[in-house]
Structures are given as structure tokens and as C-alpha cells.
Amino acid sequence: MELASLVLSNGPVVFTGVLEDLQAYGRRRGIVRLADIIGKAADAALPYGALPVISRSAYPWERYVKSGA
């Protein structure tokens, strides 16, 4: 759920819970500072050209596309 939705439904007090959950996550993972995890997913991502090719006979969205269009 987005933070904006949480704030609208529960008020600003929701940030206390979010921060507590984030601190608990950090303790479990050995993360001391947020700066230690910011950008990690982007750094680990592969460029498009390095992604493996997946052979398919059809794609799931093709059932929604009219043939001959």
C-alpha cells in the first residue's frame, strides 16, 4: 500500500509504524544506515542487452491484440 493511502486512512501517525518497521528490517539485515541500501537494486540491475532471451511461441498479451491490425 502506498504511504499516501496509509496517511489518508490512518493519519500522520502511520509514519511511526513505518519507521519502526524500517528499523526492524535494518536490524534483521544488518543495515545501519539507509544510505547503505539506497541504489542497491539499480546497481544490481542488468542492462537490457545483458538480459537472457526467452523463446516463446506466443506472448500472454497477444490474446488481446486483434490479428491483422
Q: How many CA atoms lie within 13 A of 56 on its CB side?
A: 8
The model's pTM is 0.49
The total number of residues written for the chain in this structure = 69
Model confidence pLDDT, tens digit, residues 15-66: 898 889 989 999 999 988 888 888 888 888 999 999 998 888 888 888 888 7
Question: Hey, what's the cell of 19?
Answer: 519507521
